[in-house]
Amino acid sequence: MLAIRRSLSAPGSAEARARYLEDHKAYLRLGKVKVLQSGPIFNEEGDQVGGVVIAEVTDLAEMREFSLDDPFVVHGIYGSTEIFEWRAAIDNRP
């Protein structure tokens, strides 16, 4: 199944984000789950407000478990995290 994790940054977390960014990226690359896409999300003003991970998992519990050890979760950089099953319906790439 495909799962999406949408995380929103905690207020005032920019300094900690910079400190743990490389650890966060390394964790996503470890292969505990198959990460298909990952990256930051921005508001209309161009401010980074969080991040999204799209991964292939057995079930949503696996995605939740994976998320618990992410350095951005461990160190409180994300103020909230939501996990959803995603069923891709349209892909119009050539």
The domain spanning residue 17 has which CATH number? Answer: 3.30.70.1060
> For residue 28, what are the domain limits?
2-86
Residue 59 pLDDT class (50, 70, 90 cuts): very high
> Does residue 93 form part of some domain?
no
Could you tell me if 36 and 56 are in contact, meaning their C-beta atoms sit under 8 angstroms apart? Answer: yes
Provide the H-helix boundaries in 1-94: 14-29, 60-68, 71-74
Per-residue pLDDT reduced to its tens digit, 66-91: 999 999 999 999 999 999 999 989 98
Quote the pTM value: 0.91
**89, two tokens:** 């319906």
Domain count, the chain: 1
**69, two tokens:** 């050890």
């119009």: which residue's tokens? 92
> Does residue 94 form part of some domain?
no
Burial class (CB in 10 A: 0-12, 13-18, 19+), 94: exposed
CA 38 – CA 45 distance, rounded (Å) = 21
